[in-house]
Chains A and B, each alone.
Chain A
Amino acid sequence: MSGDLRKGRIVIVGASVAGLRAAETLRDEGFTGSLTVVGEEPYPPYDRPPLSKQVLLGRVAADATGLPMRRDPHAQWRLGVRATGLDPLGKRVLLADGQWLAYDRLLIATGTRARSWPDAEQAALDGVFTLRTCEDARCLAERLAAGPCRVLVIGGGFTGSEIASVCRERGVEVTVTERGAAPLVGALGGTLSKFAASLQRAHGVDLRCGVTVTALRGNGRFTGAEFSDGSRIEADVCVVALGAVRNVEWLADSGLAACAQGIACDAGCRAFDRYGIVTDDVFVAGDVARFPHPLFDYQMLSLEHWGNAVAQAQVAAHNMVSPGPLRRPHRAVPVFWSSQFGCNIKSVGVPTFSDQVVIAQGSLSDRRLVAVYGYRGRITAAVTINMAKWLEHYQGLIETAAPFPPGPGAADACPLVAEFPVPSNVPDPKGLFHGPTVALTGHLPDQRLAVARLAG
């Protein structure tokens, strides 16, 4: 059996970090069959985290973030062509050029794309950008380097906040609009989002919270925007940072449990079909996957994290070439990081899976702290600001469901503050314009069965 699994045809749809790491792992694990990697973008796999940071700052060229290959996966690369359909019975993938690709096992790692501005005409104005691909980054970096008068960033999530940070570092005026009460509120909850707001204002960001953009203005060229509070702004660059959309449309007729929150899969990365029956030849990894996590009551977790893409791709690849008893579960604790306004922000666990938070180490005033999140008396997440070296400790506490709040004795705990948890004030994700980069999405493999009549 295992001999057979190391042969045959494997197709990976998606040529970003998850696709590449899966391809490498397949070869590491002894897969000798044919391997094809399909990618919509015309570029070999590249790294996205630098795009909103070093590339926009002009320190790294947009085409210089190629991912190093740990080994040559000896794959056929079908780049610049999109997968448009899946025939799971005939075991083949339809490509945009009309060709069918046959497979014995399939890995879906199609990831996400930037949510575009809902009004297509306004979105087409010169000067309106989204940021997801290296091409996006190249164009936006050029525009920022030209010294615009003002940049409008719509959405105060991680990407929006990082773009605002780059603008200020470049000396460019920037306005950020956030529909919620403060930036990063969807990811970090109410308490730390206040810190994020003060950080942005201290760096000269014109931050407008509780406000949405109602229209982008311009005549061919973007010139400004109108806000829901009746005010207007003049700006010459606009970045729409309203979160990500999962690339699942091509699976609409596939019968897989694919919805806006991703493709449901089991702990071993095997995709579910829409009836909740697990497949054994279709696997999922990366941002497009929804998978159950034992630490979060086995709710389906949707993540947009680099580290998850790598870890899940490795598990998926291992399981694709391993017989049942040798398969592994994907149960890595979510980790992500961001750098903005001189702060390194790093998170472990799921901060939104919480009811309380406490500053366990450091202090807000020093801009160095560890915030620990708890849910019903156990630790579920920790976020560090400029103190990432402590994260490992809290990861251990999360993995062992240690009691919340953490015990006393931290050398750098702020007296009193460290002893008083406060509500974490996690907002209802429905109230957010941009989804958080980590979301708990219930227990059901296919949401369409649960909300069958709610179209769109």
Chain B
Amino acid sequence: MTTDTLLERITDYANRPNPYPLYAELREAGAVRQTDGSYLVGTYADIVALFHDPRISSDRRNLAASYSGLAEQLQQIPFIQRDDPEHHRLRSLAMRPFGPPHSPGRIDAMRGEIARITEELIEAWHGRTRIDIVDDFAYPLPVTVICRLLGVPHQDEPTFRKWSAMIIDSVDIKPGEDPTERQRVGDQARTEMGSYLVDLAEQRRGRPSDDMLAAFVNDTDPAGRLTREELATTAVLLLVAGHETTVNLITNGVLTLLRHPDQLDRLRQHPDLLPNAVEELLRYEPPVHFLTRAPLADVDVAGTTIPKGTPLVLATASANRDPQRFRDPDRFDPTRPDNQHLGFGSGIHSCYGAPLARIEAHIALGALLPHLSTATMLQDPPPYRRSAMLRGPRHLPLEP
């Protein structure tokens, strides 16, 4: 098959259970123009170079008109889709109640709470003959955590779950399909979710509590204020990203451990390997498979000149399996040294929520270890979510 259909084949739902042979083909091919005009890049060295290249924009409005779709008209542009200095300003403001330098211990302090939520979820399996790791564990855990962290009522989950699905769909890569309608639906969902979250935040104005929405509206530092629109966009980003990715990390983790019983045993005997094992999962089965970028100038990648304004699709999951960077890349090795994976990206946009995701994954997988050795997977490969970008099982049924 020709390499200009690689993106179509990778995003084809039929290949969701195992896109990795296609990534190997992609790494051989270099930077290749796809039938939809975009360029697909899959080697570690090329992707890392592009992540650190100041001429590579994260803002879709910098795509040539034929590719940008509705980007010019979109109202809600989160910092993940902006460039410095705006990106830096907004991300720093969002970081104030979340991490260093203003809130260095905030996420670490949630360990106890995350462990309690984890135990409650596992206890609820008692007496059941069949459980779904996704619906009964990997989805509710990060959702409950991000709700408590942001200050969103957990009972509203059915409402924001719908918005979240529309937003995720709007950023997915579907070559050959006009994105206009998906973008319109996604923007609408962002607007509705934004006003819902701003309303929640406004109820806390003048009444500080320990959640992030309250922190955003009660920040006394004049440099620390988000405008209403910025608050809406940022809160939507945190709520969506806070659970749509971690669910994949945990489920992919369980699936990988069940497929590698020797490594599962090893982790049971040496739980101190867990932090390393989570890094290896982020390399081996990352929750996010692609990121998109827009070059602001003609850029050379692997000997190909990519014209300014042409969409760049960076297959970070392919870079994670690049044999030029990782020895024996298709082997799951929880003790792998020098594991600088791209599971959280790299450069200025490297994952904001990474510390939280790591802690959630450590605690979740640590608590599951004793249960997994006796569990039986009922379907392998399991059914996958539609998204090629946020790749992970939709269900993972087990007999506990």
User: Interface of A with B (CB < 8 Å)?
Assistant: 360-362, 366, 368, 370, 387, 389-393, 396, 407-413
Contacts and interface: CB of A to CB of B under 8 A. Distances in A.
5 contacts: A361-B84, A370-B54, A407-B297, A411-B56, A413-B54
Contact of B54 (A366, A368, A393): A393
Contacts of B83: 411-412
B296 interface: yes
A412 B53 contact: no
Given A366-B85, A368-B88, A390-B348, A360 B54 contact: yes
Nearest to A418: B54
A435 to B, nearest CB: 31
A362 B88 CA distance: 11
B347 interface: yes
Given A390-B347, A409-B308, 4 more contacts: A390-B348, A391-B52, A392-B347, A408-B297
Interface of B: 48-49, 52-57, 59, 83-85, 88, 295-297, 308, 347-348, 350
B297 A390 contact: no
Given A410-B54, A411-B57, A393 B49 contact: yes
A370 B84 CA distance: 12
Contact of A389 (B56, B57, B347): B347
Contact of B85 (A360, A390, A393, A412): A412
Given A390-B348, A393-B49, A412 B55 contact: no
Nearest to A391: B52
Contacts of A409: 54-55, 295-297, 308
Contacts of A411: 54-57, 59, 83-84, 296
In terms of DSSP, what is the predominant structure of the interface of chain A? mixed
B265 to A, nearest CB: 25
Given A366-B85, A392-B48, A407 B54 contact: no
B54 A361 contact: yes
A370 B55 CA distance: 13
Contacts of B295: 409
Nearest to B82: A411
Contacts of B53: 393
B274 to A, nearest CB: 20
B49 A396 contact: yes
A209 to B, nearest CB: 30
Nearest to A407: B297
Contacts of A362: 84-85
A278 to B, nearest CB: 31
A407 B298 CA distance: 10
A366 B297 CA distance: 25
Contacts of B54: 360-361, 370, 390, 393, 409-413
A389 B297 contact: no
Q: Which 3 A-B pairs have the closest CB atoms?
A: A409-B297, A410-B54, A411-B83
Contacts of B297: 407-409
A413 B55 CA distance: 9
A410 B348 contact: no
A431 to B, nearest CB: 34
Nearest to A360: B54
- Most B CB contacts (10 A, CB to CB) among A370, A407, A412 go to A412
A386 to B, nearest CB: 9
A407 B55 contact: yes
Contacts of A407: 55, 297
Most buried by B among A366, A387, A392, A393: A393
Nearest to B59: A411
A391 B348 CA distance: 11
Contacts of B55: 407, 409-411
B31 to A, nearest CB: 16
A392 B296 contact: no
Contacts of B56: 411
A387 B83 CA distance: 13
Nearest to B48: A392
A444 B49 CA distance: 36
Contacts of A361: 54, 84
B84 A412 contact: yes
B52 A389 contact: yes
A413 B296 CA distance: 11
A443 B24 CA distance: 46
Contacts of A391: 52
Nearest to B83: A411
A408 B48 CA distance: 20
Nearest to A386: B88
Nearest to B55: A409
Contacts of A396: 49, 52
A123 to B, nearest CB: 37
